[in-house]
Amino acid sequence: MATERSNLRLKDLKAKTPTASKLMNVKVPVDTLDGIDRLAKKLNATKTNVVVALLNEALAVVGKRR
């Protein structure tokens, strides 16, 4: 099952399907980046996919509140 990044969730990180993307350069606190790195290693996923999945999860929560 192909999962697009726009719909990527943490549970989907095992499916590694490349999708179109754009570069976004952001500064994050060191402890946040360390947490992302640990989660990526734990899930055997890329940091990019972890960040996208976390953002999508947050957007889904915000969308439900509206």
Q: Which stretches within 1-66 are classed as H helix?
A: 30-43, 47-65
Q: Give the pLDDT score at 2.
A: 41
Q: Angle at Cα 6 formed by Cα 3 and Cα 50, nearest 5°?
A: 80
- 52, two tokens: 């996208």
The rounded average pLDDT for each run of 10 residues, N- to C-terminus, in the chain (66 residues) is: 60 68 90 96 92 91 83
Nearest to 57 by CA among 41, 44, 39, 42: 39
| Residue boundaries of the structural domains of the chain | 5-65
Residue 42's pLDDT is what?
93
